């Protein structure tokens, strides 16, 4: 039992570290009304590993906190709460989609929708409410976030999940 718990903690920690590293490869693209946060592709990992829910949530919180402390994140402390909440809800929804959708293709079509919808709506609301200088407006910001999230999740996230599943299948066969 201890090894199983340690394994889950390790997987969560690795995913959290990857999330932070991917966020800060291009910090300019990770924060603001127009963003392409590469780390959001990891939100699809709950399809493969349930501990990924905790990993992406912690990774998002740490990234948003570092962004706040370094002033890279214009939303500051608010994003530590609401941005992290968006990622947590997306990861949980992705996990449940993976659990309920038995058809592999349907699973890969539906799973990325969770991060797209949760982040587009919550981050756009966050910006509309807390950034008085947000000249983009709620719907434009929601569109920008949604499109970038869809790009990251449908291209990077699905590719990542397919690679992980292929690796896990080879490992099980060996």
What's the confidence (pLDDT) of residue 9?
94
Mean pLDDT across the stretch 71-89? Answer: 94
pLDDT per residue as tens digits for the range 47-69: 999 999 999 999 999 999 999 99
Q: Which tokens belong to 166?
A: 């292929």
Task: Please give the share of the chain, as a percent, with pLDDT higher than 70.
Answer: 95
Does residue 133 surpass a pLDDT of 70? no
Query: What is the average pLDDT across 95-118?
Result: 94
> With 90 as the cut, is the pLDDT of residue 89 above it?
yes
CB 140 within 8 A of CB 22: no
* pLDDT per position as a tens digit, 14-48: 999 999 999 999 888 998 877 899 999 999 999 99
160 has a pLDDT exceeding 80: yes
User: pTM, whole model, 2 decimals?
Assistant: 0.92
Residue 42: the pLDDT is 97
Residue 57 has a pLDDT of 98
CA-based radius of gyration for the chain: 16
Tell me the C-alpha distance between 64 and 87, whole Å. Answer: 11
Q: Half-sphere exposure of 74 toward its Cβ, with a 13 Å CA cutoff? A: 19
Q: Which residues of 36-57 are buried (b: 16+ CB within 10 A; e: fewer)?
A: bbbbbbbbbbbbbbbbbbbbbb
**Rounded distance, CA 122 to CA 19, Å?**
19
pLDDT value of residue 33? 76
DSSP-derived 3-state class of residue 104: helix
C-alpha pair distances (Å), 93 with each of 22, 82, 110: 22, 16, 10
Please give the pLDDT value at position 134.
62
pLDDT > 90 in the chain, percent: 73
Local confidence band at 3 (pLDDT 50, 70, 90 cut-offs): confident
The C-alpha angle with vertex 115 and arms to 113 and 121, in degrees rounded to 5, equals 95
Alpha-helix residue ranges (DSSP H) falling in the chain: 2-23, 27-30, 52-69, 77-100, 104-110, 113-130, 138-151, 158-173
CA distance 166 to 107: 16
């Amino acid at each position: 039992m201890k090894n199983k718990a340690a394994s889950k903690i390790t997987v969560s920690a690795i995913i959290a570290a990857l999330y932070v590293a991917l966020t800060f490869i291009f910090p300019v693209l990770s924060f603001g009304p127009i963003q392409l946060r590469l780390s959001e592709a990891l939100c699809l990992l709950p399809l493969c590993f349930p501990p990924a829910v905790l990993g992406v949530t912690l990774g998002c919180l740490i990234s948003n906190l570092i962004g706040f402390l370094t002033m890279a994140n214009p939303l500051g402390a608010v994003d530590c709460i609401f941005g992290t909440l968006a990622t947590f809800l997306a990861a949980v929804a992705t996990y449940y989609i993976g659990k309920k959708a038995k058809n592999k293709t349907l699973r890969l079509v539906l799973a990325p929708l969770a991060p797209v919808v949760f982040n587009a709506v919550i981050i756009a609301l966050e910006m509309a409410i807390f950034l008085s200088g947000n000249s983009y407006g709620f719907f434009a910001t929601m569109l920008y976030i949604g499109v970038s999230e869809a790009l990251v999740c449908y291209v990077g996230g699905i590719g990542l999940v397919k690679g992980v599943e292929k690796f896990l299948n080879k490992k099980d066969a060996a």
